[in-house]
Amino acid sequence: MDKIEHIGIAVKDLETSNALFTKLFGVVHYKIEEVVNEGVKTSFFKAGPNKIELLEATNSESPIAKFIEKKGEGIHHIAFAVTDIISEIARLKSEGFVILNEIPKKGADNKLVAFVHPKSSNGVLIELCQEIGN
């Protein structure tokens, strides 16, 4: 894994949360994007060299809606940048981690993504992100 790519935060209302995080960081979000197949609308902020992704459910069956129902708003995942997502999935599987989607899928912010089940990583959902085109 190369670096932390972003931290994902589940929110109930993207518009309200965008206003809150704009005040917190002193900058406005640089992108809003909907990932239809995940039932989520995202908003990205840059805070220094780091990125924060706010995630709002677009339907009641989305993973974000279920997360908020169970745990409330808050940190949903930590994403790590990788240069070869297929190799990283294989490496993590060989180390005993449970991969939620062994075939990477298109995610937000021009990334291929795969997730490590939180039960195999001390309760933290880990997202692997590879820039599309790499």
DSSP output for the chain: --EEEEEEEEES-HHHHHHHHHHHHSS--SEEEEEGGGTEEEEEEEETTEEEEEEEESSTTSHHHHHHHHH-SEEEEEEEE-S-HHHHHHHHHHTTPPBS-SS-EEETTTEEEEEE-GGGTTT--EEEEEETT-
The answer to whether 57 and 40 are in contact (CB under 8 A) is yes
User: According to the model, what pLDDT value does residue 48 have?
Assistant: 85
Q: CA–CA separation, 14 vs 10, rounded Å? A: 9
CA nearest to 7, candidates 65, 62, 61, 47: 47
The pTM for the full model equals 0.90
Q: pLDDT tens-digit profile of 37-75?
A: 899 999 999 988 899 999 999 999 999 999 999 999 999
pLDDT tens, N- to C-terminus, the chain (134 residues): 889 999 999 999 999 999 999 999 999 999 999 999 899 999 999 988 899 999 999 999 999 999 999 999 999 999 999 999 999 999 999 999 999 999 999 998 899 999 999 999 999 999 999 999 75
CA nearest to 67, candidates 93, 104, 39, 95: 39
Q: CA–CA separation, 67 vs 81, rounded Å? A: 23
